[in-house]
Amino acid sequence: MPRIIALPKATISIQISFLMEAKLTAIGIYAPEKVVDNHYFEQIVDTNDEWIRSRTGIVTRRFAAENEFTSSLAEKAILNMAAEYKLQLHDVDFILVATVTHDQIMPSMACQLQYRLNIPNTGALDISAACGGFGYGIVLAKSLIHSGMARKILAVGAETLSKVTDFSDRTSCILFGDGAGAVLIEAAEKGNIGACVVGAEGSGGQDLYLSNLNTVINGEEIIANNKIIQNGRKVFKWAVSQMSVQFNVLLEKEGLTVDDIDWFVPHSANMRIIEAICKQVGLPIEKALESLSTYGNTSSASIPLALYEGVRAGKVKKGDKVLLLGFGGGLAYAGAIVEWA
Ligand SMILES: CC(C)(COP(=O)(O)OP(=O)(O)OC[C@H]1O[C@@H](n2cnc3c(N)ncnc32)[C@H](O)[C@@H]1OP(=O)(O)O)[C@@H](O)C(=O)NCCC(=O)NCCS
């Protein structure tokens, strides 16, 4: 029979005083130099600039060079952040990298960054949650700090989607771009990462995928060409309905109303998705930050790209309440409310 041991009150209070909170303290980005506008696609598929702008909101995106991979984009985003905030990285004790476009599946991107950045001893883990990956990174970083496992974490979203894009499919090739974003999350007595949500609906796995070893998802035969394949309409509908719900779950958990939110940073998948979520939750569209128009859909990098641009433009200010919400392949989602430091 299990025995219940009652801890003396003094022990409990000592344990609680050791609990640290998580504080997002810095952000940096990197995007490849090559800018690709919508006219590029007019040469390769039956589409046009007007359709792409009006149906997606995308104007340009960046493509990595042939010899440029996710690890180098991630490294540059971290180094840009370190330079801008004058950071020391040697005492980072965990690296989380969200991506679906690893240079290699093994070793992980996080291990490669540990080596390249010369960080002596750190936990290193890749997150496979597609466009929800950066949100998962924030939630995991908060949990690692709260549990006492880590004190200084690099959380990164980085992608080279142009390398896994099917350029013969007009419904998807116009969407994707390459980029990277990194944040630093540190242990602090007073944190700024509040309520979090995570979730998954694996039943929609075959609606958005990138094939690898197995050619079957949920009993359905898939197209096995190592490219991103999607049912755009289904993902669109799921994103609008589920993310509107999760937006409100975050508000309720944090004890806020929609009017308390200064900035909404959803995954930049499609401008019409962002507009529809804003309409459903009653948030003015002017409070949404996007990276879509400039960078296209960059999956796990889209939220830090939008947030960084919002900070640099002087929109996001100290004390602002920012609601981040990532969603995509899996289907999976994760988000958090952050009070900007
Ligand atoms: C892909 C997406 C842009 C398509 O937009 P849509 O408004 O849903 O368009 P539909 O799929 O209903 O197609 C409408 C028509 O446009 C056509 N079309 C699709 N892509 C086109 C393109 N690039 N140029 C011109 N016409 C195009 C379709 O063939 C269809 O033609 P039809 O009516 O003759 O059959 C949109 O569904 C989307 O963004 N979905 C979410 C996808 C996503 O974000 N994935 C990443 C994961 S987060």
Tokens representing residue 239 in the block: 């994103």
Q: Ligand 1 pocket, 208 CB below 6 A?
A: yes
267 a catalytic residue: yes
Q: Which atom of ligand 1 is nearest to the CA of 299?
A: 48
pLDDT in tens, 78-88: 999 999 999 99
111 a catalytic residue: no
Cα–ligand 1 centroid distance for 175 (angstroms):
10
Give the Cα separation of 192 and 321 in Å (integer): 9
Q: Find the helix or strand (DSSP H, E) in which 19 lies.
A: none
Cα–ligand 1 centroid distance for 233 (angstroms):
7
Residue count of the chain, please give it. 341
Q: What percent of the chain has pLDDT over 70?
A: 95
Q: Which atom of ligand 1 is nearest to the CA of 175?
A: 3
Q: Which atom of ligand 1 is nearest to the CA of 172?
A: 1
Tokens representing residue 69 in the block: 């991979």
Candidate of 55, 61, 169, 303 to mutate for ligand 1, largest count of ligand atoms within 8 Å of Cβ? 55
Alpha helices by DSSP H, listed for 94-217, are: 109-116, 133-146, 170-173
Catalytic annotation, pick one of 131, 173, 196, 278: 131
Nearest protein CA to atom 37 of ligand 1, as residue:
232
Residue 202 pLDDT class (50, 70, 90 cuts): very high
131 a catalytic residue: yes
Which of the listed CATH numbers 1.10.150.120, 3.30.465.10, 3.10.310.30, 3.40.47.10 matches domain 194-339? 3.40.47.10
Q: At CA 303, angle to CA 167 and CA 313, rounded to 5?
A: 110
Provide the β-strand partners of residue 58: none
DSSP 231-286: -HHHHHHHHHHHHHHHHHHHHHHHT--GGG-SEEEE--S-HHHHHHHHHHHT--GG
> 105-110 contacts: CB < 8 A, separation 24 or more?
105/212, 109/70, 109/71, 109/74, 109/156, 109/158
Give the Cα separation of 73 and 160 in Å (integer): 8
Helix (H, G, I), strand (E, B) or coil at 167: coil
Q: Ligand 1 pocket, 235 CB below 6 A?
A: yes
pLDDT in tens, 214-224: 999 999 999 99
Cβ(36)–Cβ(62) below 8 Å: yes
Give the Cα separation of 308 and 158 in Å (integer): 14
Task: Say which CATH topology domain 20-191 has.
Answer: Peroxisomal Thiolase; Chain A, domain 1 (3.40.47)
Q: Ligand 1 pocket, 298 CB below 6 A?
A: no
Nearest protein CA to atom 8 of ligand 1, as residue:
233
pLDDT in tens, 103-153: 999 999 999 999 999 999 899 999 999 999 999 999 999 999 999 999 999
Nearest protein CA to atom 20 of ligand 1, as residue:
171
Residue 15 pLDDT class (50, 70, 90 cuts): very low
Query: Could you tell me how far CA 338 lies from the centroid of its own chain?
Result: 14
Tokens representing residue 17 in the block: 């005083």
Nearest protein CA to atom 25 of ligand 1, as residue:
47
Q: Ligand 1 pocket, 55 CB below 6 A?
A: yes
Helix (H, G, I), strand (E, B) or coil at 151: coil
Provide the β-strand partners of residue 197: 335
Residue 1 pLDDT class (50, 70, 90 cuts): very low
pLDDT in tens, 269-319: 999 999 999 999 999 999 999 999 999 999 999 999 999 999 999 999 999
Cα–ligand 1 centroid distance for 38 (angstroms):
15
DSSP 201-226: -GGGGGGEEE--S-SEETTEE---SS
* pLDDT for res 19: 75
Q: Of 285, 196, 272, 264, whose CA–CA distance to 235 is shortest?
A: 272
β-strand 332-339 against 321-328: which pairing, if any?
antiparallel
CATH 3.40.47.10 range(s) for the chain read 20-191, 194-339
What is the pLDDT averaged over residues 188-208? 97
What is the pLDDT averaged over residues 168-193? 97
CB neighbour list of residue 287: distance below 8 Å, 6 or more residues apart: 261, 262, 263, 264, 278
* pLDDT for res 14: 43
Cα–ligand 1 centroid distance for 172 (angstroms):
8
* pLDDT for res 18: 60
